Amino acid sequence: KAGVTQTPRYLIKTRGQQVTLSCSPISGHRSVSWYQQTPGQGLQFLFEYFSETQRNKGNFPGRFSGRQFSNSRSEMNVSTLELGDSALYLCASRAGTAGLRIAHTEAFFGQGTRLTVV
Amino acid sequence: AQKVTQAQTEISVVEKEDVTLDCVYETRDTTYYLFWYKQPPSGELVFLIRRNSFDEQNEISGRYSWNFQKSTSSFNFTITASQVVDSAVYFCAPLGEGQNFVFGPGTRLSVLP
């Protein structure tokens, strides 16, 4: 079956602009998480969506937002871009579970979107 | 609070050698799930192996295995008979509160021919 698809793969934006990244999870998976990877901070959790609802959020400013559609595809948006937002943004797809029970299944990641802010 | 430490920043081995990557996971939780992921140059994170706190035995999957030492909270990951294609960055990643991964800083492995 098809893997996790992230578009675009590469993006160059100017400081102050906004950007939207897209993630299509594995068919049937309802959980989509986003992570930011930078050389200085490593891999950090942004947020998770499950059945169109944001279920968990990391410690990022409100400029970072996301949403999930009824077909489980997810988008994340970064407004008023800063140089420090330059990073690899990774999307993770999991079958997920409803409620608060921990889903201990593995996540499948896309190849990421490399965002460069100039 | 949880803390994940991967003390080895970079490791180089010659092909066919066994290599062990270290991970220390400090947590007060009695139930936990810990994963190892590999990130090749292409960028995506690839799932390798998982340990649950209630596992009786250490998991082995092909050339991958790991060893848990409770006294030191160490979850060491071993690749047997390494290959050049194993060259990548390896992350130890427990599941944190709210079901998200808490990634360690990673260990860059270079397997030389």
- Write down the pLDDT at residue B69: 82
For residue A85, give the 3-state DSSP assignment: helix
Inform me whether the C-beta atom of residue B105 falls under 8 Å from chain A C-beta atoms.
yes
pLDDT over threshold 70, residue A1? no
Q: Integer distance in angstroms from the first to the last C-alpha of chain B?
A: 41
- Write down the pLDDT at residue A96: 67
- HEC string of chain B equals CCEEECCCCEEEEECCCCEEECCEEECCCCCCEEEEEEECCCCCCEEEEEEECCCCCCCEECCEEEEEEHHHCEEEEEECCCCHHHCEEEEEEEECHHHCECCCCCEEEEEEC
- Taking CA atoms, what residue in B is nearest to A46? B100
Q: Which are the contacts of B3, defined by CB distance < 8 A and separation ≥ 6?
A: B24, B25, B26, B27
Inform me whether the C-beta atom of residue B41 falls under 8 Å from chain A C-beta atoms.
no
How confident is the model over B61-93, as pLDDT tens digits? 789 988 888 788 888 999 999 999 999 999 999
Query: Buried (b) or exposed (e) across A23-41, using 16+ Cβ within 10 A?
Result: bbbbeebbbbbbbbbeeee
- Taking CA atoms, what residue in B is nearest to A107? B47
Structure tokens at A106: 């593995």
Of residues B55 and B67, the one with the higher pLDDT is: B67
* Pick from B44, B50, B99: CB nearest A109: B44
Cβ-based contacts of A106 with chain B (< 8 Å): 35, 47, 50
Q: Do A104 and B52 touch (CB under 8 A)?
A: yes
* Pick from A31, A42, A106: CB nearest B105: A42
- Write down the pLDDT at residue B28: 82
How confident is the model over A3-54, as pLDDT tens digits? 999 999 999 999 999 999 999 999 999 999 999 999 999 999 999 999 999 9
Residues in a beta bridge with A77: A20, A65
Inform me whether the C-beta atom of residue A30 falls under 8 Å from chain B C-beta atoms.
no
Inform me whether the C-beta atom of residue A58 falls under 8 Å from chain B C-beta atoms.
yes
Q: How far apart are CA B110 and CA B112, in angstroms?
A: 6
Inform me whether the C-beta atom of residue B101 falls under 8 Å from chain A C-beta atoms.
yes
Interface test with A, best of B5, B59, B99 (most A CBs within 10 A): B99
